Structure 1
Amino acid sequence: MFGVTLAGLSMLDPAVMNHPEVMHAVLAATLIGSHAPDFDSVVRLRGEAAYIRHHRGLTHSLPAPAVWAPLIGLPVAWLFGAMAHGWIVVLWSFIAVSFHIGLDLFNAYGVQCLRPFSKKWWHLDVLCLFDPYMFLLHAAAALVWLFGGLSPGPMFASVYGITIVYLIWRTIESKRIIKKLRRSYGTQGSITLIPSLIGRSWQFVAETDTAYITGTVRRGSVTQEAELSKTKPETYSTITKATMSTDGVRAFLHFAEFVHVQVNEKLDGYEVTWSDVRFWHNNSMPFSAAVTLDRDLNVQSDQLGWNKKSWEAPHI
């Protein structure tokens, strides 16, 4: 959707507006560029651990837009016979890739957008993976363009102006809620938020010196749901440490922020579950790594991933 509306925005440029071949090339480039960073999803073929470790990494990094732009823009410009305006096609490829990475930054899942200088996961916790309001706004504008209702350049300039205002408002709202939670729990530790799909409530995890506090904020009211004690790495049991060499747990620790470990004894061994409290929802932690050990602490099996349907909350 954003690939289409970015192409509409490019119609502000007379070189695009007055040359159909340039317009078609820009549309193709923005559609491809809007998807390009997620081409790293191909690593899922190597397993969930590889996907967790590499998705939203190098293809979303700081130099990525500058690399993607000519890789997409130049071949597309040549294909559509628009090489005389190739730099315009490259520019809009760059904008499309940058906009994709920027929107991922607003999501709670996060993105390693400062690689290669930092492997830290950055996330602003402002938007769901799918925001219905932005989608409807851009879809409506795209339909108006399709049926020739308004001049596309000014119309999409207004649409993106509204989008920017919306993002600023959501960011201010999230900061306001974080301040409220800091006052409520008297903590200077990390606080993460995940908005609901409709945006009327926020799920939170607040870190204190000894615990992770989870709950929701709805209409200014804070509701605490659970409090989980923190376990420091230096206090991990021998059973827990025996799972840390598995590929799944290593990938999990590469990504997770609020780590909670649970050890369950079984008849023939142990089950160790590593969960990220950041994605707590309805008394469960759907993102986890589970490892089964025998009595001699040999790994029997391990599993990593999301224990929820893609359309179920949290929407990250």
Structure 2
Amino acid sequence: MDTGSHLLMGATLAGLAFIDPAVAAHPQLAQTILFASLLGSHAPDLDAVARIKSYSSYIRNHRGITHSLPALFIWPALVSLIMGLIFGTLDQFAHLYFWSFVAVTLHVLLDLFNAYGVQCFRPLSKKWFHLDVLSIYEPFFFVIHLTGLALWIMTSLNPVPIFIAVYLLTFLYILVRSVHHSIVVKRVHLKMNQVGIYHVIPSLHWFRWQFVFESDSFFYTGKVDYKKVVVVDIYHKDRANPVIEATMGTDGVRAFLHFTQHIHVYFTKKTDGYEVNWRDMRFWHNHKLPFGVDVQLDENLNVVGQSMGWSKKTWEAPYV
């Protein structure tokens, strides 16, 4: 999910922590857990520092080892130690560790439910897992958690029932969206009626989804608007070609192949060589494929340039 939502949930998790009698009885511990849950809810995304080196480095590392099985236990230990030392509450390490662990685990779990994906089972598997149920930003989550936080700060109400209700609504929403997603996937299957790989991806609108279907020879992109399924574009899969193969060794393409699952690659002849375009079909929007790698070659198929990333504004769809 987006950074703002992760941090907001870190704050509301600190309110839920009052369900723990030790937290409710010790204001200093409650304050420490607030900062620990905020840090824990963001800690897995500290892999963003890899972007300083290059975007390809960021793609290789983002939602990888920092979201892995060992990280679920390492991050809480680090967060608890740092916060315990700062606030002088190391004698309450077990409570700090538990709520930091919940914060980190919730972060990874929510990332698993969106379309970008996460390597959450490393080192057992380097496969990318994504359940495609939630958008990277969910307005419903933001509203209910912000409302709960406002009630806690601005009133004298007990935070425990407030945040029990908030988190019950959160997990109920995920359950409903998961069931809805499975229904939409079946609807797309019936429409396409072909053997292949299907991915149905959410949008900010509850009843509008988009999909990509990959067959042996084609990619189909389309939309689901309530119960209506419409194919928008059809892309022919390009076969192996020396021009395309000449880009396989570039840093950007290697990073792209590490992350991407539905790969569409094509090339165009230029006056002074070629341009090869690698695209992730999952993230199509408005007849465009905004995420990928562009590699420039000269007439002798030598790499002379490359660029990687999104060709869209941050606020534009797709929201992944």
Does TM, scored on the shorter chain, surpass 0.5? yes
Tell me how far apart the structure 2 counterparts of residues 83 and 264 of structure 1 sit (CA, whole Å). Answer: 61
The answer as to whether partners of 1:193 and 1:204 remain within 8 angstroms in 2 is: yes
Tell me how far apart the structure 2 counterparts of residues 88 and 187 of structure 1 sit (CA, whole Å). Answer: 52
Tell me how far apart the structure 2 counterparts of residues 149 and 16 of structure 1 sit (CA, whole Å). Answer: 17
Q: What whole-Å deviation, never above 9, does each CA across 1:97-139 have from its counterpart, x for those lacking one?
A: 0000001001100000011111111001111111111000000
Residue 274, structure 1, aligned to residue 255, structure 2:
no
Question: What's the counterpart of residue 43 of structure 1?
Answer: 50
Secondary structure class of the residue paired with 1:129: coil
Q: What whole-Å deviation, never above 9, does each CA across 1:228-275 have from its counterpart, x for those lacking one?
A: 1224xxx41001000111000111111111111111001111111011
Identity over aligned pairs, percent: 46
How big is the shift at 1:149?
4.2
The answer as to whether partners of 1:187 and 1:207 remain within 8 angstroms in 2 is: no
Q: What whole-Å deviation, never above 9, does each CA across 1:23-72 have from its counterpart, x for those lacking one?
A: 00110100000100000000001111000111000000011110001100
Residue 217, structure 1, aligned to residue 224, structure 2:
yes
Across the aligned residues of Structure 1 and Structure 2, the Cα RMSD in angstroms comes to: 1.0
For structure 1, list consecutive stretches of 5 or more residues without a partner in the other structure: none
Q: TM-score, normalised by structure 1?
A: 0.97
Question: What's the counterpart of residue 166 of structure 1?
Answer: 173
Q: Which one of the candidate residues 310, 313, 316 is aligned to 2:317?
A: 313
Secondary structure class of the residue paired with 1:122: coil
The 10-residue stretch of structure 1 (142-151 or 54-63) with the greater mean CA deviation from structure 2: 142-151
The aligned amino acid for 1:289 is V
Tell me how far apart the structure 2 counterparts of residues 188 and 140 of structure 1 sit (CA, whole Å). Answer: 45
Tell me how far apart the structure 1 counterparts of residues 195 and 50 of structure 2 sit (CA, whole Å). Answer: 37
Question: What's the counterpart of residue 253 of structure 1?
Answer: 257
Question: What's the counterpart of residue 54 of structure 1?
Answer: 61
Q: Which one of the candidate residues 137, 141, 155 is aligned to 1:148?
A: 155
Tell me how far apart the structure 1 counterparts of residues 140 and 70 of structure 2 sit (CA, whole Å). Answer: 30
How big is the shift at 1:75?
2.2
The answer as to whether partners of 1:194 and 1:314 remain within 8 angstroms in 2 is: no
Question: What's the counterpart of residue 189 of structure 1?
Answer: 196
Q: What whole-Å deviation, never above 9, does each CA across 1:132-166 have from its counterpart, x for those lacking one?
A: 11000000000000012421012101110110000
Question: What's the counterpart of residue 103 of structure 1?
Answer: 110
Question: What's the counterpart of residue 25 of structure 1?
Answer: 32
Question: What's the counterpart of residue 242 of structure 2?
Answer: 238
Tell me how far apart the structure 1 counterparts of residues 142 and 150 of structure 2 sit (CA, whole Å). Answer: 12
How big is the shift at 1:188?
3.9
Question: What's the counterpart of residue 289 of structure 2?
Answer: 285
Alignment of 1:72-91 (within 5 A): 72-91=79-98
Tell me how far apart the structure 2 counterparts of residues 218 and 198 of structure 1 sit (CA, whole Å). Answer: 10
Segments ≥4 residues shifted beyond 4 Å: none
The answer as to whether partners of 1:286 and 1:308 remain within 8 angstroms in 2 is: yes
Q: Which one of the candidate residues 129, 138, 144 is aligned to 1:131?
A: 138
Tell me how far apart the structure 2 counterparts of residues 242 and 209 of structure 1 sit (CA, whole Å). Answer: 23
Tell me how far apart the structure 2 counterparts of residues 149 and 130 of structure 1 sit (CA, whole Å). Answer: 30
Tell me how far apart the structure 2 counterparts of residues 176 and 266 of structure 1 sit (CA, whole Å). Answer: 45
For structure 2, list consecutive stretches of 5 or more residues without a partner in the other structure: 1-7
The 10-residue stretch of structure 1 (37-46 or 149-158) with the greater mean CA deviation from structure 2: 149-158
Tell me how far apart the structure 2 counterparts of residues 299 and 42 of structure 1 sit (CA, whole Å). Answer: 27
Aligned residues: 313
The aligned amino acid for 1:306 is W
Tell me how far apart the structure 2 counterparts of residues 57 and 15 of structure 1 sit (CA, whole Å). Answer: 34
